């Protein structure tokens, strides 16, 4: 028993030491928490609108765009990645029910296409001698969160604040548009505008989140909190609040574990998410909720 306590005390001490000594650990924690918060807020809407995969699709687009930016020689590739991803997000969310290519197929097509083109470009034009390492770190975000610059941290803080404020201001409208878009539109809510807003915000979050978990695992940040919260809670407000808390706690725990035990950040966070989801699933079953 005392062994376990010692283990925790030791690790807590190491953690405090890291946080006070190394600024990059502080940055990673701040950025991680903010991105987790933002992605979980919109996650509920995306999951309910049957757009779970848009996070995945867009992150691959962001990957392709990033590769392209590297080839063209843009040093700060966010300048290029952000607009491209936003445009794709708008195009994808616009594919409503009456288009020739259905939403899920369009997402799959664009996501695989962007992934392939991105890898191809990196392969042909790469000047780096560690190509697979580069690709791996972009896809799984293994190191980039620990190499954030002060500017990136502030950018992330600013954008996160904007996302949270937008979400609070438009919370009621987002609910109406998510629950029943036709009704909202018929009674005069500008649903196109809110869909556009959701698309832009999700694109921004994804480009930011690529630093944290890499492009393959972003969907996890979007989907897990929402699905877990939906197991247990029954109103939109409680689901939203729960998924925000869920996401932030898991991200925090994941980053801490990865720093202490030197595991890859992105996959650790997702692993924590999976365990927490299982716990919520069980709670849902036991409390007799509709955990179907």
The crossing angle, in degrees rounded to 10, of helices 236-261 and 218-232 is: 130
Residue of 24, 80, 175, 281 that binds other proteins (CB under 8 A): 175
Picking from 38, 28, 86, the residue whose alpha carbon sits closest to that of residue 61 is 86
Q: Restricting to residues 243-282, name those near other proteins by CB under 8 A.
A: none
* Cβ nearer to other proteins, comparing 7 with 183: 183
Q: Is 14 in the site for other proteins (CB under 8 A)?
A: no
Q: Is 26 in the site for other proteins (CB under 8 A)?
A: no
The sign of the dihedral angle between the CA atoms of 30, 36, 39, 45 is negative
> d(Cα 54, Cα 202) in Å, to the nearest integer?
9
Q: Is 131 in the site for other proteins (CB under 8 A)?
A: no
Residue of 46, 68, 159, 176 that binds other proteins (CB under 8 A): 176
> Which residues have CB under 8 Å from 117's CB, separation 6+?
64, 67, 68
Give the tokens for residue 200.
């832009």
Count the site residues for other proteins by CB under 8 A: 33
Residue of 184, 197, 207, 217 that binds other proteins (CB under 8 A): 184
* Cβ nearer to other proteins, comparing 43 with 118: 43
Q: Restricting to residues 188-207, name those near other proteins by CB under 8 A.
A: 188-189
Residue of 169, 278, 279, 285 that binds other proteins (CB under 8 A): 169
Q: Restricting to residues 90-109, name those near other proteins by CB under 8 A.
A: 98
> d(Cα 189, Cα 172) in Å, to the nearest integer?
11
Picking from 234, 220, 224, the residue whose alpha carbon sits closest to that of residue 266 is 220
> d(Cα 135, Cα 266) in Å, to the nearest integer?
14
Beta strand ranges found along the chain (DSSP E): none
Residue of 19, 26, 126, 185 that binds other proteins (CB under 8 A): 185
Q: Restricting to residues 220-239, name those near other proteins by CB under 8 A.
A: 229-230, 233-237, 239
> Which residues have CB under 8 Å from 111's CB, separation 6+?
53, 56, 57, 58, 59, 60, 61
Residue of 99, 147, 172, 287 that binds other proteins (CB under 8 A): 172
Residues binding other proteins (CB under 8 A): 48-50, 98, 168-173, 175-176, 178-180, 182-189, 229-230, 233-237, 239, 290, 292
């Amino acid at each position: 028993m005392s062994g376990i306590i010692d283990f925790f005390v030791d690790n807590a001490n190491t953690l405090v030491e890291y946080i006070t000594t190394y600024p990059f650990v502080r940055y990673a924690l701040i950025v991680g928490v903010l991105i987790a918060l933002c992605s979980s807020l919109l996650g509920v809407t995306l999951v309910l609108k049957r757009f779970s995969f848009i996070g995945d699709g867009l992150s691959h687009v962001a990957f392709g765009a990033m590769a392209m930016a590297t080839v063209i020689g843009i040093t700060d590739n966010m300048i290029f990645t952000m607009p491209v991803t936003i445009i794709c997000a708008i195009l994808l969310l616009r594919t409503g029910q009456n288009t020739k290519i259905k939403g899920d197929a369009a997402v799959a097509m664009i996501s695989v296409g962007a992934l392939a083109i991105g890898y191809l470009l990196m392969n042909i034009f790469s000047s780096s001698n560690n190509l697979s390492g580069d690709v791996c770190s972009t896809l799984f975000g293994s190191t980039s969160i620990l190499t954030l610059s002060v500017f990136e941290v502030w950018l992330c803080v600013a954008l996160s604040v904007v996302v949270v404020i937008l979400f609070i201001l438009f919370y009621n409208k987002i609910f109406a548009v998510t629950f029943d878009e036709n009704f909202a539109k018929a009674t005069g809510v500008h649903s196109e505008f809110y869909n556009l807003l959701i698309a832009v915000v999700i694109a921004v979050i994804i480009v930011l989140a690529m630093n944290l978990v890499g492009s393959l695992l972003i969907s996890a940040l979007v989907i897990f909190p929402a699905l877990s919260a939906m197991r247990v809670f029954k109103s939109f407000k409680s689901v939203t609040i729960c998924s925000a808390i869920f996401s932030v706690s898991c991200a925090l725990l994941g980053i801490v574990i990865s720093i202490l035990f030197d595991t890859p950040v992105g996959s650790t966070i997702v692993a924590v998410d999976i365990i927490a989801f299982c716990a919520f699933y069980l709670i849902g079953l036991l409390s007799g909720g509709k955990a179907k």
